[in-house]
Structure 1
Amino acid sequence: MADSRKYVSEEDLKTHNKPGDLWISIQGKIYDVSQWSKDHPGGALPLLSLAGQDVTDAFVAYHPGTAWQYLDNFFTGYYLKDYSVSEASKDYRKLVTEFSKMELFEKNGHVVLYTLCSVAMLFVVSVYGVLCSESTWVHLCSGGLMGFLWIQSGWIGHDSGHYKITKSPRFNRFVQVLTGNCLAGISIEWWKRNHNAHHIACNSLDFDPDLQHMPFFAVSSKLFNSIWSCFYDRKMNFDSATRFLISYQHWTFYPVMCLARINLFAQSFLLLFSKRKVLYRRQEFFGLLVFWIWYPLLVSCLPNWGERIMFVVASFSVTGIQHVQFCLNHFSSRVYVGPPRANDWFGKQTSGTLNISCPSWMDWFHGGLQFQIEHHLFPRLPRCHLRKISPFVMELCKKHNLPYDIASFWKANAMTIDTLRAAALQARDFSNPVPKNLVWEAVNTHG
């Protein structure tokens, strides 16, 4: 019996990768998601980045089984010609199925409860130290505790952005806004937009926002070509000022991380004031307003400007630990230029990611990022299960000759600094000239 199906080739599929014309393939069936991109819960960016490809692995990673029933609404009637699945993808999908049967994606454990309790305790103790003590040292410690509060609230925000941390969607949203916007001053919608793009295009220099830190940092000399940021929709200029800053980035890394939160505050407002579509825009603004009322008010309760500055610097510096943690997992890993390739999903996620080795009693400190490879492959999996599934992922990587990089926290720091130093030395190479300014020339004059 003749096959009555209509087929499109991979080359034809690749042409449907522009706004207003977005086609994707899932298990060989072609779907038109051009209009759906406007309402996609994960935002339009993931669809824009992966359009024109078979995205089965990415779909499996990010969507529960209930999502499959909605796909027929977007089916074009076409099938992908010569559709095939790699052995690595087959084994990956089997693991997803096995974890689903074990209900691991639905079991959150008690991590969320413990973290929320720790956040509440840190908040009460920090506020009590400011209001009920006259000791400068207590005020300093209170600022540090505020930083730890922001770290733990960050883990809650991270978890809630990937999966439902509570059974009630409304309570889940309430926890997101409370821990992200109200307590930490960071828009949870900004974070989800940024983080979704990072996961989809892990370690792509022009698609992954987590590697786009010009003019302060560059993890690869490929960024010296002033490439276009597909996330920020602008050119990342490698000019003389940027060259100067990057030339010393291995020295400025930790000081900048101590103040990195300022950038997150700014990015949150930039998104909310932009013309981009933002879900719950009013809620987001209200949450940020709550933060910018209680935090400055708390700081103003300190007896003098010296202690107020000390409190702010302490809280920012301690939470800088988390910003360092975000960098350790990817800065020293392999990078590439160009859009993510969905047919190499497993390999790209493992090659661009570094795990951090630590004992189980330190899991609270890393918030799930110590199993970054497992998290990137199974982003919907609650962090309490990441240690459990680690041996399966390690075995799968070994079977398919894929990297499974892991290092201690201190070794990962050394690897990150080495990466930054290598790029810094390349930035100082005068055989690749850029327009210089007086500051650059003055600092680098010899003789």
Structure 2
Amino acid sequence: MARHTIWSRKQVAARILQGDTLIIFHGQLLNIPKSWLDAHPGGTLALLHFVGRDATDEIEACHLEHTVALIPRYSIGTVELTDGFWAPLVPPIATGWVRRPSAADGTLQWHKEAVELLSDDPSNKFTPASSILLTENFSSTAKGQGPTLASLQPPPSTLSLEQQARQSRAYRELHKRVVDAGLYQTRYVAGYGPEIARYALLATLSAYCYRHDWLVPSAVFLGLFWHQLVFTAHDLGHMGVTHNWTADRIIATVIADYIGGLSIGWWVHNHNVHHLVTNHPSHDPDIEHIPFFAISPVFLDSLWSSYYKRTMPFDAFARIVLSVQHKLFYIVMAFARFNLYANSYAYLYQKYFDTRRATGGWWAWRLEVAGIAFFWLWFGGVLYGCGSWQRALVYLIISHAVTSPLHVQIVLSHFSMSTADLGPGESFAHRQMRTTTDVICAPAVEFIHGGLHLQVTHHLFPRLPRHNLRKASALVKAYAAEHGLTYAEFGFVAGNKEVIGTLRAVADQVRLMGTVARAEVEEAVEKRNADAVVKVVKEAVANGSAKAAVAGDVQCVSPAANGIPLVLP
């Protein structure tokens, strides 16, 4: 269709219902073909979450300039705007609809993988009226039908679309100021020079101590080496170092896979979704930690994860763990790296059976698999060289536990922030500032946090080299003050208290649910016993043997009926 075509909101909705992936970018209507949907470096979900929505800010924040210049090639026209902005639709994936090949002929058909869990208490801060959460669809009645025009209409929201549009325009001006200030230029010498020296020192100290059989210090230095090195892997995953996708991905693979044993492909796929749907309980994988953590009571409804494609069950095990999650927080964090291994290898395993394979084609996937094998070859040799399985186990645990402050730091930036879904009309900047906080840190020691304690600014500008985040944050704070937005930040200790408080609040609710459940069970048992008394008495009266019943079975049961003995005339 001609690019000068003007599309109405109703026409856009009709095409979405037919299965087209339509996204708005600077007033242009983009039709993303399936070939690119499958090959998109940011993953399929990064696109599906913005079907029917204006993704201008997200696209420009996450893509290089030369990539943004190529995007209009997918334009099939412009869209009708109301007062200068687009009234968003709800992406089908937000209501549990996805496209899957049919078993019969392989054609794509709509599949209802989850059902909406809408708010019945609009005043609840966790589930406002605009909230759409998902639970697994156990019914087959909706399969083969597809979403409807009604399902594309957003629930009522307290947000003003006009105000969100103003904030969006202001964010673009802020982005231009960041670009004009040269903050996208990587500081190779002043920024990465000291870091490379630090990496080399920690690796050397670990090797030196290991050679002298000082295993505990060696494990500590190795853990610190991994802890520091992952910050550069993070930069590379965001194309924030060389600003060339292939070069950054190769370097990142060497660091993450070969040296750290983690899949950079998995991390990028996971992290991109996190940046786009930050803190959404059904869509952000970075807060979906059932059965170990639940940062909102909504997780107690056994939500569906659109990322992991599974239910996050609030079962008996989760009930036990979550009731003490605030007490287990640091223990779980000490072993968090093992969870990263599990996610990494599951991702690579799944990609083996995926004809789309990993981003970048065969070479990226093969390079990663080779890297994981290399990692366990050298690290396995380190463990074997410890001399005994007991010493090897100590080395393994210490080296991994030392990296835990990194995991604590990352969750501090989100766990205590809002998890409410304010609807598809929320602007990119508003959502990031509502769901993210900084950890206050003195410049002299910010290398410990890798510069990523400035998470608010990082979430607004994901590709920004982290050595420039502090300068950029000053511009962001001015922007927030000008537009009435909250720039959240607190110290490391205060942040820990906030997170523990959030976990404790949900744990208290879990325990309360257990108390209520036990009371209901006791009430049901008492009612059952009372019903049994009445039944026996009625049978006894009918048989003319009421006295025998009273003297026998009924007398034994009747006290359970509210403690009142049954006396027959």
TM-score by length of 1: 0.90
Number of the residue aligned with 1:286: 370
Offset, 1:166: 2.9
Alignment partners' CA distance in 2, 1:212 and 1:270: 16
Offset, 1:67: 2.4
Offset, 1:34: 3.4
* Matched residue type, 1:214: I
Deviations 1:96-133 (A, max 9, x none): 11222233213334323332332233222212211x21
Number of the residue aligned with 2:302: 226
Offset, 1:171: 4.3
Contact persistence 1:7–1:81 (CA under 8 A) = no
Question: Are positions 1:87 and 2:160 aligned together?
Answer: no
Same amino acid, percent of matched pairs: 31
* Matched residue type, 1:107: T
C-alpha RMSD over aligned residues? 2.2
Aligned residues between the structures: 427
Unaligned ranges ≥5, structure 1: 437-447
What are the within-5 Å matches in structure 2 for residues 261-276 of structure 1? Answer: 261-274=337-350, 275-276=353-354
Alignment partners' CA distance in 1, 2:8 and 2:427: 18
Pick the aligned partner of 1:127 from 185, 207, 230: 207
Number of the residue aligned with 1:441: none
Pick the aligned partner of 2:197 from 114, 117, 124: 117
Number of the residue aligned with 1:332: 416
SS in 2 for 1:50: coil
Number of the residue aligned with 1:379: 462
Contact persistence 2:25–2:54 (CA under 8 A) = yes
Question: Are positions 1:208 and 2:208 aligned together?
Answer: no
Contact persistence 1:16–1:52 (CA under 8 A) = no
Number of the residue aligned with 1:58: 58
Alignment partners' CA distance in 1, 2:264 and 2:41: 13
Number of the residue aligned with 2:109: none
Number of the residue aligned with 1:108: 187
Pick the aligned partner of 1:311 from 386, 395, 398: 395
Number of the residue aligned with 1:425: 508
Pick the aligned partner of 2:333 from 257, 260, 267: 257
Alignment partners' CA distance in 2, 1:17 and 1:203: 26
SS in 1 for 2:490: strand
Higher relative contact order (CA 8 A, sep 6+): 1
Alignment partners' CA distance in 1, 2:377 and 2:252: 19
Deviations 1:277-296 (A, max 9, x none): 31311111001111111111
Offset, 1:88: 1.3
* Matched residue type, 1:59: I
Offset, 1:28: 1.1
TM-score by length of 2: 0.71
SS in 2 for 1:332: coil
Alignment partners' CA distance in 2, 1:52 and 1:207: 17
Number of the residue aligned with 1:361: 444
Offset, 1:14: 5.0
| Bigger mean CA offset, 165-174 vs 213-222 | 165-174
Deviations 1:150-203 (A, max 9, x none): 111210111101124136655433321121001111000000001001000111
Q: 1:422 to 1:14 in 2, by over 3 A?
A: farther
Offset, 1:72: 2.7
* Matched residue type, 1:121: L
Q: 1:194 to 1:427 in 2, by over 3 A?
A: same
What are the within-5 Å matches in structure 2 for residues 163-202 of structure 1? Answer: 163-166=239-242, 171-202=247-278
Q: 1:34 to 1:228 in 2, by over 3 A?
A: farther
Question: Are positions 1:413 and 2:412 aligned together?
Answer: no
Offset, 1:349: 0.3
Alignment partners' CA distance in 1, 2:14 and 2:326: 42
Q: 1:335 to 1:166 in 2, by over 3 A?
A: same
| Bigger mean CA offset, 406-415 vs 64-73 | 64-73
Contact persistence 2:21–2:48 (CA under 8 A) = yes
* Matched residue type, 2:511: R
Contact persistence 2:291–2:322 (CA under 8 A) = yes
SS in 2 for 1:24: strand
Alignment partners' CA distance in 2, 1:19 and 1:216: 40
* Matched residue type, 2:416: S
Contact persistence 1:8–1:81 (CA under 8 A) = no
Alignment partners' CA distance in 2, 1:74 and 1:68: 11
Number of the residue aligned with 2:20: 21
Larger-gyration structure (1/2): 2
Q: 1:15 to 1:227 in 2, by over 3 A?
A: farther
* Matched residue type, 1:385: N
Number of the residue aligned with 2:73: 73
Contact persistence 2:26–2:56 (CA under 8 A) = yes
| Bigger mean CA offset, 114-123 vs 318-327 | 114-123
Alignment partners' CA distance in 2, 1:19 and 1:198: 28
Alignment partners' CA distance in 2, 1:397 and 1:209: 27
Contact persistence 1:15–1:52 (CA under 8 A) = no
Question: Are positions 1:392 and 2:472 aligned together?
Answer: no
SS in 2 for 1:81: coil
* Matched residue type, 1:273: Y
* Matched residue type, 1:202: T
* Matched residue type, 1:41: P
Alignment partners' CA distance in 2, 1:52 and 1:120: 48
